[in-house]
Amino acid sequence: MVKAKNVEQAYQVAKERYAELGVDTDQAMEQLKNVKLSVHCWQGDDIHGFLNPNQELTGGIGVSGNYPGIARTPAELTADLHEALSLIPGKHKVQLHTIYAVTDQKKDFDEVGPEDFKYWVDWAKQEGVGLDMNPTFFSHPKVKQNFTLASPEKEIRDFWIEVGKKSREISNYFGQELGQRSVNNFWIPDGFKDNPIDKQSPRERLIESLDEIFAKKYDEKNTIEAVEGKLFGTGIESYTVGSHLFYNNYAISRGKLWTIDAGHWHPTEDVSDKFSAFFPFGKGLMLHVSRPVRWDSDHVVIMDDALLRITRSLVRDHELERTNIGLDFFDATINRVAAWVIGARTTQKALLQAMLAPVDQLKKAELNYDFTTRLAVTEELKSYPFGAVWDEFCLQNGTPVGADWLDNIHQYEKNVQFKRK
C-alpha cells in the first residue's frame, strides 16, 4: 500500500520543480477538481439495458468478451457504478440511454418517459452526481434496413421522432431534479452498406426529423442537445447519413453542441485539431473519449498520444468550460468496473499533465517567434514528475493512490461480482 507520507514528500519535490517553470501545482489540481467526467453506464452491462435485455445488439454495436460479474439488474448496475465512482477522484456524472429505463410494466422505446428514470434520479441524488441522456436508436425491430430518423418510411421516422422527444423530456427532468445541466446526445446508425443513388434525400429527411424533435424549447440550464456524427459503421460502410460535416453544420445552424467521438474518425486524423476549427463558430462540444484500434472499436482509454493531444488542446485553448467530457467504451474481456476506473483516471491524468505547463509563457514565446523555447520546454515537461502531483490529487480526494485501487476491485469481485450467476 502506498504510504501517505511518501506521497506528500514526493509532491513537495514536484511542486518545487514545477514552480521553477512558473507552474502552480495546487492551482492545477483545483482546476482538475472542477472537471466533471460523464461516466457511461453501458460499460457495466455490455449495452443490454433493462427494457429488453435479450434483444440482439444492432446498429453496428458489438461487445467482445464474457468476463464474470456482469450487471443484470438496476441494483447491480448502480452498485457497480458506486464502486467505480468511489475510486475516481472528484464528483462526476453518469450517462444513460433510453434502454436503461426502470419500469414495472412493458414499454416500447417511444413510450419511455421521465417517470421511468425516477430510480436513477433518486440514486444520483444519493451519490451526489449528475445525469446525462442518450436516446437509443439501435437494437430495435424498427431500425429498418439500417434506417431510423432518415428512413424513407414516415411510420418508421415518426416512431423514432417520438423516442427523441421523450429523451428530451427525460433529460430536462434530470436537470430540474439534480440542478446540473443534462447533455442529451443524439447518435443514429442510418446509412447504406453499398453505394446509394440518392445521397441528399436521406439528409433532408434527417434534418426534418431533428427539427421536429427539437421544436419544443427547454431551459438550457436543465438540458442541451448534442449531435454526433460518424465516419462509417458496420453495415453502412459506403454512406453515413449523419456524417461529421452534416452534424457540424447542423450544430452551428441550430445552436446545438457537436459531439466528437475519438473513435469515429479515420485512424490517421488528429481529432484534437477539430476543436479549434469548431469553437470560433459553434456553441460547444460533447467529447466522447474512446480508444480506436484500427477504427471504432471502443477500447478502454489509455494515456496514448491521441488522448494527450486531446487534453492539451482543450487546456491550452482554454476550452474546458465549453466542453463536456464523457467516456464511451465497452470491454467485456476485463472487469467492467475496473474498465471505468482505468478510463476515467487515465483521462484525468492526461488533463492534469496538460494543466501542469506554463501555457501562457509558451504562448508568449510562440508569439515572439521563439520556437526554440517552445520546443525545449515542451520536451522537458515530458519528464517532469506529474505523477507525484496526481498521487497528491488522489490523496486529497480520498481515493486510492497508485494501483492500490485494484485491491478494492479484487475484493469487490470476490464479495459481489463473482457471486452473480
Q: Which parts are annotated binding residues for Mn(2+)?
A: 264, 296, 298
In 3D, which of 312, 303, 300, 228 has the Cα closest to residue 265?
228
Helix 336-355 vs helix 74-85: angle between axes, to the nearest 10 degrees?
Answer: 30
Binding residues: 264, 296, 298
Question: Is 264 a known active-site residue?
Answer: yes
Residue 366: partners with Cβ closer than 8 Å, 6 or more residues away: 374
Residue 386's nearest CA partner among 420, 355, 412 is: 355
Instruction: Let me know if 30 is a catalytic residue.
Output: no
Do residues 346 and 303 make contact, with C-beta atoms less than 8 angstroms apart? yes
Q: Please state, in angstroms and as integers, the Cα–Cα distance from residue 84 to each residue in 11, 124, 225, 232, 411, following that order.
A: 25, 14, 27, 32, 13
Where are the extended beta strands (E) located within 44-129? Answer: 93-97
What single letter denotes the amino acid at residue 354? A
Give the active site residue among 228, 331, 391, 392.
228
What whole-number distance in Å separates Cα of residue 269 and Cα of residue 279? 18
- Catalytic residue, candidates 298, 331, 391, 392: 298
Are the C-beta atoms of 298 and 329 separated by less than 8 Å?
Answer: yes
Long-range contacts of 17-22 (CB under 8 A, 24+ apart): 17/384, 17/385, 18/356, 18/384, 18/389, 21/357, 21/358, 21/361, 21/377, 21/381, 22/358, 22/361
Catalytic residue among 328, 331, 391, 392: 328
Catalytic residue, candidates 261, 331, 391, 392 = 261
Rounded Cα distance between 307 and 287, Å, is: 12
Angle between helices 118-127 and 154-178 (to 10 degrees): 30
- As a whole number of angstroms, the distance between CA 355 and CA 24 comes to 9
Active site residue 187: yes
Active-site annotation holds for 211: no
In this structure, the chain runs to a length of 421
* Residue 288 annotated in active site: yes
Active-site residue, selected from the candidate residues 42, 123, 160, 187: 187
Annotation marks residue 230 as catalytic: yes
Cβ atoms of 179 and 253 within 8 Å: the answer is no
d(CA 236, CA 164): 22
237 labelled catalytic: no
Catalytic residue among 93, 142, 264, 299: 264
Residue in 286, 321, 323 with CA at minimum distance from that of residue 133: 286
What DSSP element (H or E) covers 89? none
In the set 97, 142, 165, 230, the catalytic residue is 230
Do 300 and 343 contact (CB within 8 A), yes or no?
yes
Is 46 known to be catalytic? no
**How does strand 130-134 pair with strand 93-97?**
parallel
Active site residues: 187, 228, 230, 261, 264, 288, 296, 298, 328
